[in-house]
Structure 1
Amino acid sequence: MHFPETIKQQTCSDCLSGQSLGFQIRMAFQPIIDWLDKSIYAYEALVRGPQGEGAGWVFQHINEGNKYYFDQACRVKAIQTAARLGCNSFLSINFLPNAVYNPETCIKATIEAADLYGFDLTKLIFEVTEGEQIPDKAHLNRIFQSYSKRGFQTAIDDYGSGFATLDWLIELKPDILKLDMQLIRDIDQHPAKQFIVEQTVAQCELQGTKVLAEGIETRAELDYLTSVGIRYLQGYYFAKPQLETLAQTAELSGLQ
């Protein structure tokens, strides 16, 4: 991976300030459910625009020139906002591996932000989305290994819709694998989808990876997923993302 020297020379204070984006970002949070405990395991931080615009609006303003700053600013904003809201659960942050030129260097702003805002570093989960084009598996593996050594959890998001195949899952060994919502949609009615999910769950059990089903919208989907042993769940069925708000367990639907 090649990154401009001007980016490599920037200090962590630059990352903390979120400079060079040209616009402000905010964070929405969606709870991740621990079905066994009927509790909130984590909150996923989801980027929003200055007026609450969706992620699509935000990514229209991201390019090669500001991708690095965007990745860093999202981490800092997620930690800052979660700490302000009193988050005591895990915090899941999406990151762009193609914006990470060196894992050890690029994590400095995250650590500084956690220290500055009083957020527990051991509560961080970093997830890479399959929507991000990743030509270099070795680079992603280095990032995952570096983050694991620091005690962070790692996750592959949107599994089943993009780059990752079973060999990626076996080699990368993420702490969490998030099944894509298109795989989850109406899964109770689709034996082919069920076969894929059950194979994936079996492999994850072998290597100690947690399986998280995202995008759940119906009780029938939930019933199937829990019947095959999936413990961690996320979706509109429980709660939609809320701008700068952490939904509480008592406010969630569908936990009965």
Structure 2
Amino acid sequence: MTAAQLADLIALRPQGISDSSYIDRVIKALRTHLGLDVAFIAQFRVEDRVFTHVDAEGPAPINPGDTLPPDAGYCQRVVDGLLPELIADTSLCPLAMELPETTALPIGSHLSVPIWLGDGRLYGTLCCFGYTADPSLSERDISVMRVFAELIADQLDSELKRVRDRVQKHRRISEVLASDQPTIVYQPILAAQSLELCGWECLARFSTQPQRSPDQWFLEAAEAGLGVDLELRAIQLAVKALRELPGHTYLALNCSPQLVYSGRLTAFLQDLPPRRLVLEITEHAAVADYVRLEQALAPLRQRGVRLSIDDTGAGYASMRHILELSPDIIKLDMSITQGIDHDFKRRALASSLIAFARETGSSVVAEGVETQQELEALRALGVHKIQGYLLGRPQPLAEALGAMRSKVG
């Protein structure tokens, strides 16, 4: 098999295969092709050399994670030009015979090429050896090794880029958590018929650079492994308003299943008035195990904390959330409510969801209401509560309270 054929064989990685698994497959294919006993990748570090990937025919004499001093073995000597990249018979190479590894392992034949990253840095070496001499090894095999080393370097570059990206994201989110971010704005939720103030949705806002939507900040926090921390921080800041808001109103708090699973939310809400708390799970929240989520929510719901499914109608997931979690509140997405006064399809869908809520004992909140005509249409359909720019924009606490007092006045 030629180097080109081997490259074609493994160049297309199946989806779902991690970089590490892919590299394991690469060195196994290489070792099998060469007919040698052991293949490995050695990463050069300042203080040592670590074996990151190992493949062997039978028990391996080395394992991933094993380390050696930088000057031990063949690898550094090959890179320095003291040993040739191809040694078909170590007994014919005096310097190789001086190395204790040659007789200890033993090493009868050895091939090694450097792995250069895209930025020109030396990552380490790709090596194969046999326990016995192999006079059939040739420069063509070294060419094959170089092809594989390039394939591995491409994967390592991708992996290192992801690591750097994750570190940068972690640093940005950590800076947010170390500051007074996010700030919280409050949007009023009113009774549809009487327009009596019932509650407030708490929404996070970020003034930190780069400027982007809150969803993007929370997504980056999740990717950095700090999603639960940032969500909990937003809730901790939001509930500070409870003592200043009218006692009959509730706070709607956005949370992900991951925050619920963590147990930290349950512990934090323990001493807060449950009747004034609503947890909102959005259409975009992926739920792999509804039984687990129900069990994690149970202590909160038993105390009286209500559950709301946000963005209902925006996609399939929200319908599944409703069926599996039996929420107390169903929030109609603005994609349904906006234009509902003149679109019979939107009215039909909203009517079906309202009828479903009536049968299951849930209440319905329509969000994104922007015109008086939409409000009247939703009232006629039997929506319980409404939220939207027509009635109040998201604002900092003092401004939100002032706006509501002005409307009442």
Give the structure 1 partner of residue 265 of structure 2: 106
**Is 45-54 or 139-148 further displaced after alignment?**
45-54
Matched ranges for 1:79-118 at <5 A: 79-80=239-240, 82-83=241-242, 85-88=244-247, 89-103=249-263, 105-112=264-271, 114=272
- In structure 1, C-alpha distance between the alignment counterparts of 2:236 and 2:366, rounded to whole Å: 26
Q: CA deviation at 1:250?
A: 4.0
Q: 1:223 aligns with which of 376, 381, 390?
A: 376
Q: Which runs of 5+ in 1 are unaligned?
A: 1-17, 115-119
Compute the TM-score of the two structures, normalised by the length of structure 2.
Answer: 0.51
Give the structure 2 partner of residue 239 of structure 1: 392
Say whether 1:21 aligns with 2:177.
Answer: yes
User: Which amino acid letter does the alignment assign opposite residue 90 of structure 1?
Assistant: Y
Matched ranges for 1:57-76 at <5 A: 58-59=217-218, 61-64=220-223, 65-76=225-236
Contact 1:20/1:66 (CA < 8 Å) preserved in 2? no
Compute the TM-score of the two structures, normalised by the length of structure 1.
Answer: 0.79
Say whether 1:174 aligns with 2:174.
Answer: no
Taking structure 1 as reference, are residues 68 and 168 closer, same or farther at Cα in structure 2, changes over 3 Å only?
closer
Contact 1:26/1:244 (CA < 8 Å) preserved in 2? no
- In structure 1, C-alpha distance between the alignment counterparts of 2:375 and 2:347, rounded to whole Å: 13
Give the structure 1 partner of residue 115 of structure 2: none
Matched ranges for 1:200-219 at <5 A: 200-219=353-372
Stretches of 4+ moved more than 6 A in 1?
none
RMSD across aligned C-alpha pairs, in angstroms? 2.6
Taking structure 1 as reference, are residues 165 and 69 closer, same or farther at Cα in structure 2, changes over 3 Å only?
closer
Contact 1:26/1:47 (CA < 8 Å) preserved in 2? yes
Q: Which runs of 5+ in 2 are unaligned?
A: 1-173
Taking structure 1 as reference, are residues 151 and 183 closer, same or farther at Cα in structure 2, changes over 3 Å only?
same
Query: What is the number of residues matched between the two proteins?
Result: 228
CA deviations over 1:105-152 (Å, ceiling 9, x no partner): 53112235x3xxxxx332111111112222332233224433211210
Give the structure 1 partner of residue 95 of structure 2: none
SS in 1 for 2:345: helix
User: Which amino acid letter does the alignment assign opposite residue 182 of structure 2?
Assistant: I
Which fold has the larger relative contact order, with Cα–Cα distance below 8 Å and residues 6 or more apart in sequence?
1
Contact 1:97/1:140 (CA < 8 Å) preserved in 2? yes
Matched ranges for 1:5-16 at <5 A: none
Q: CA deviation at 1:39?
A: 0.9
Matched ranges for 1:117-132 at <5 A: 120-132=273-285
- Structure with the larger helix share: 2
SS in 1 for 2:270: helix
User: Which amino acid letter does the alignment assign opposite residue 348 of structure 2?
Assistant: F
- In structure 2, C-alpha distance between the alignment counterparts of 1:243 and 1:92, rounded to whole Å: 15
User: Which amino acid letter does the alignment assign opposite residue 183 of structure 1?
Assistant: I
**Is 207-216 or 52-61 further displaced after alignment?**
52-61
Structure label with greater radius of gyration: 2
Identical positions, percent:
27
- In structure 2, C-alpha distance between the alignment counterparts of 1:168 and 1:96, rounded to whole Å: 12
- In structure 2, C-alpha distance between the alignment counterparts of 1:86 and 1:197, rounded to whole Å: 31
Taking structure 1 as reference, are residues 195 and 86 closer, same or farther at Cα in structure 2, changes over 3 Å only?
closer
Contact 1:186/1:221 (CA < 8 Å) preserved in 2? yes
Give the structure 2 partner of residue 133 of structure 1: 286
- In structure 2, C-alpha distance between the alignment counterparts of 1:209 and 1:135, rounded to whole Å: 24
Give the structure 2 partner of residue 31 of structure 1: 188
SS in 2 for 1:149: helix
